[in-house]
Amino acid sequence: MEGRQVRVEKADLETKLREIQGAVEETTASARGPVLVAVAVVVVIALFFLLGKRRGKKGSARVEVYRLG
């Protein structure tokens, strides 16, 4: 290609950009499912943690021990 000039037309650029955009949208769509599952798992774990923490405080008894003598 030395010595030859290559002309890039507007239509060529638009076509290539549409191809790239299609690939990006396809990748995004395929990654969306696992991301949603991961977010749901984190939310469930946080919910169980907070509920367990609350239940632990609710059921704990405070006992004071005094030594006599």
* Per-residue confidence in pLDDT tens, the chain, 69 aa: 577 888 989 999 999 999 999 999 999 888 888 899 999 999 999 999 998 877 666 656 677 788 876
H or E element in which residue 56 lies: helix 10-59
* Residue 14 confidence (pLDDT): 96
Compute the distance between CA of residue 17 and CA of residue 11 in angstroms, rounded to an integer.
Answer: 10
Regarding pTM above 0.95, the answer is: no
> Burial code of 31-68, b = ≥16 C-beta within 10 A, e = fewer?
eeeeeeeeeeeeeeeeeeeeeeeeeeeeeeeeeeeeee
Provide the token pair at 67: 């030594």
